[in-house]
């Protein structure tokens, strides 16, 4: 990642979500490790740049920005306003990891969805925004349930390539990755062999359902698990690296900083530890703990 565009986001560890509103939709290129949803309102339109591609979003459209994507909002007239929703991957449970790249594969929604679905999605986002800003009792539950519903709607209502994610083969692939996330020897060939697929077909199919290569997806997912370990467990940095599937502490430190902008130690210091040793439900590393030294 180009560190020149890095925008550091500090979300609350216990509720890693925020909303914001701007009367202008003009922002320079930047990236961050949280996910971003933007609802365009007003009478104008905005051009959004996502990883060097330019898309036009009109009033009522919803812009989806994946974690780590370099993006910016350009050429926006004064009458174009936006509402933004940002959240960390830990806002959801582990099931989100299996669908996140599919949900965020298309940068601009609206024109590709049925009008009734698009209206419902906008209503959900307005409701989430109202709950977050008013902060009445139980608003955290309302925000989380609303965002879960929005993710499900996007996943099911998008035509074409989004339908592939619901296929049994797609579910098998993503479940296989989660089961083996802690195995540093897990490779594309092993994944293809486990599913009895040709590795070249597997590679092409994987990219069609996630929008990225198997290696890139695996590394990002490992870092996501490492972030949660650092937030919610008391494991040492060495153990976090091991359980996240990295075969050396040096590689883990370098990769983690590249994708998050923090060293693992600094990330834990910034985000704190809940005090709960939250290990249940995480895929555990397999193999030997060779090459690790306690930091």
The answer to whether residues 175 and 165 touch, using CB atoms and an 8 Å cutoff, is no
- Domain carrying residue 144: 3-160
The answer to whether the CB of 144 falls within 8 A of the CB of 127 is no
For residue 277, name the pLDDT band (cuts at 50, 70, 90): very low
Of 101, 130, 160, which residue constitutes the final position of a domain? 160
Mean pLDDT of 244-258: 93
Q: Is residue 25 part of a domain?
A: yes
Query: Which of 140, 160, 180 marks a domain boundary?
Result: 160
Q: What is the mean pLDDT of residues 96-111?
A: 78
Question: Partners of 63 in the beta sheet?
Answer: 38, 108
What is the tens place of the pLDDT at every residue in 122-149? 999 999 999 999 999 999 999 999 999 9
Q: Is 280 within the bounds of a domain? A: no
Same domain, 11 and 137: yes
Q: Is 223 helix (H, G, I), strand (E, B) or coil?
A: helix
> Is the residue at 216 inside a domain?
yes
Does residue 257 form part of some domain? yes
Q: 214-232 and 264-271 are packed helices; what angle lies between their axes, rounded to 10 degrees? A: 50
**How many Å apart are CA 218 and CA 203, to the nearest integer?**
13
* Phi, psi at 120, each rounded to 5°: -60, -40
> Which string of DSSP letters, residue by residue, matches 191-204?
HHHHTT--HHHHHH
According to the model, what pLDDT value does residue 167 have? 53
The CB-side HSE value for 60 (13 A sphere, CA atoms) comes to 12
Number of domains in the chain: 2
Task: Please tell me the least confidently modeled range out of 23-27, 47-51, 86-90, 272-276.
Answer: 272-276
**Could you tell me which residues are beta bridge partners of residue 46?**
57
* Angle ∠(183,188,190) on CA atoms, nearest 5: 65
56 and 191, same domain (yes or no): no
């Amino acid at each position: 990642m180009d560190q020149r565009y890095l925008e550091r986001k500090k979300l609350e560890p216990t509720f890693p979500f925020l909303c914001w509103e701007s009367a202008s939709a003009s922002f320079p290129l930047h990236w961050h490790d949280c996910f971003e949803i933007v609802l365009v309102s007003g009478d104008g339109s905005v051009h959004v740049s996502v990883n060097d591609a330019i898309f036009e979003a009109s009033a009522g459209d919803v812009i989806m920005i994946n974690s780590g994507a370099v993006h910016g909002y350009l050429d926006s007239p004064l009458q174009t306003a936006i509402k933004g929703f940002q959240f960390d991957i830990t806002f959801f449970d582990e099931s989100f990891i299996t669908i996140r790249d599919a949900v965020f594969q298309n940068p601009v929604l609206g024109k590709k969805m049925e009008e009734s679905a698009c209206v419902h999605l906008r209503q959900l986002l307005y409701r989430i925004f109202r709950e977050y800003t008013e902060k009445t009792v139980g608003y955290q539950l309302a925000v989380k349930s609303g965002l879960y519903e929005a993710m499900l709607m996007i996943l099911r209502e998008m035509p074409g390539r989004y339908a592939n994610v619901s296929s049994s083969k797609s579910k098998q692939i993503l479940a296989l990755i989660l089961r083996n996330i802690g195995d540093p020897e897990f490779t594309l060939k092993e994944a293809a062999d486990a599913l009895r697929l040709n590795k070249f077909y597997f590679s092409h199919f994987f990219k069609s359902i996630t929008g990225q290569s198997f290696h890139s997806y695996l590394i990002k997912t490992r870092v996501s698990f490492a972030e949660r370990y650092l937030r919610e467990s008391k494991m040492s940095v060495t153990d976090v690296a091991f359980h996240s599937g990295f075969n050396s502490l040096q590689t883990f430190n370098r990769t983690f900083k590249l994708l998050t902008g923090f060293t693992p130690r600094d990330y834990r210091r910034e985000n704190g530890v809940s005090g709960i040793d939250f290990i249940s439900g995480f895929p555990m590393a397999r193999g030997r703990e060779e090459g690790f030294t306690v930091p």
